[in-house]
Amino acid sequence: MTTQNSTADADRALKAKHRAMWAQGDYPSVASEVIPELGAVLVEACEVRPGQRVLDVGAGSGNAAIPAALAGADVVASDLTPELFEAGRLVAAEQGARLTWQEADAEALPFGDAEFDTVLSCVGVMFAPHHRQAAGEMVRVCRPGGTIGLLSWTPQGFIGRMFAAMKPYAPPPPPGAQPPPLWGDEDHVRGLLGDRVTDVRAERRTVRIDLFPTPEAFRDYFKERYGPTISVYKNIAGEPDRAAALDRDLAALARDGNLAAGQDGTVMEWEYLLVTARRAG
C-alpha cells in the first residue's frame, strides 16, 4: 500500500508540474500564430462530420476542437491545463463555434468506454509522460469503428530537434516518462495502438513557418511563450553561461533550418506525423 501511495503521490506531483508548465507563457498565441492550420488538417483527415461526438485530447486552446465544432460535431475539448481554455472560449465565440471545455488528464480520461465517434489530438497527447497509458485511454473512449487521429511532431523534424537541443539544459525526466517526439515515430505509435485498431494510415508532412524575421526572433518568441522552453530556461536561471549557450543553440537550430538563408526573414519547414486509425470491433 505504501508503494502504491508513493507512486500515486509522484504521479500527482508530475501532473501538477506539467499543468504549471503549460499554464506559463502564452501557448494559445503559439497555436494561433505559429501553427493555426494544423488543427483543421487533423479534423479533415479524421473526416469529422455533423452530429458526431468528438473528443480532443490535450486540446489546449482548441486548435483542433474548434474546427471540429465548426464542422458540425458535438465536441469536448479536454486538457490537463484549464488555464488555456479562456483563450479558446474567446476564439470559439468569435467564430461561432459551440463546444464543451473539460479539465482532464490524458492518462485517466473521465469519460465512459466507447463514448466518442472520433478521438483526436493535435500536438497535445504527445506531451503526456506515459505514452501507453494515454494511447490506451484514447482507444478506450472511442467506439468500435470510430476514428482515432493524431498529429505529432517527429523526432527528426524541427521541434523534435529543438527538444533534443534543450535536453542537456533540462532536469532529468521522471522515471517512466517518455520523450514527446516519440509520438512522431510511426513504429512507436503503431506499437502503442497495437491490434486494438485497424486501417492505420500514417503520413509525414510539413508545415511552413515564416513568422520570424530572424533565428533570434524565433528563439526569443519561444523563450517568452512556449511552456517547455520557459521551463528549461528556469532550470538554468542561476547559470548565465549555460543560459547563453542555450541561447546560441536555439538560434543556431533556427539558422540551420532556415530555407531563406541570405534573404530577408526566416522560413522553416517543421515536420509532423499524421496518423488516423479505426478502433477495432
In order, the DSSP letters of 136-153 are: HHHHHHEEEEEEEEEEEE
What three-state secondary structure class fits 31? helix
Nearest to 22 by CA among 61, 55, 56: 61
> What pLDDT shows up at residue 11?
83
> What pLDDT shows up at residue 1?
60
Instruction: Please provide residue 174's backbone torsions phi and psi, each rounded to the nearest 5 degrees.
Output: -65, 155
- Measured distance between the N- and C-terminal CA atoms of the chain, rounded to whole angstroms: 36
> What pLDDT shows up at residue 4?
59
Residues of the chain short of pLDDT 70, as ranges, are 1-7
> What pLDDT shows up at residue 174?
87
Max Cα separation, the chain? 63
Scanning the structure block, which residue is given the C-alpha cell 473539460? Answer: 102
Cβ–Cβ under 8 Å, residues 46 and 149: yes
CA distance 195 to 201: 14
pTM of the model: 0.95
The tally of CA atoms less than 13 A away on the side-chain side of residue 83 is: 13
Cβ–Cβ under 8 Å, residues 198 and 139: no
| Other C-beta atoms lying within 10 Å of the C-beta of residue 102 | 16
Per DSSP, helices labelled H in the chain are 2-23, 27-33, 38-45, 65-70, 85-95, 131-141, 158-166, 186-193, 215-225, 227-235, 240-256
> What pLDDT shows up at residue 6?
66
| Other C-beta atoms lying within 10 Å of the C-beta of residue 15 | 18
Cα distances from 279 to residues 134, 148, 198, in angstroms, run 15, 7, 6
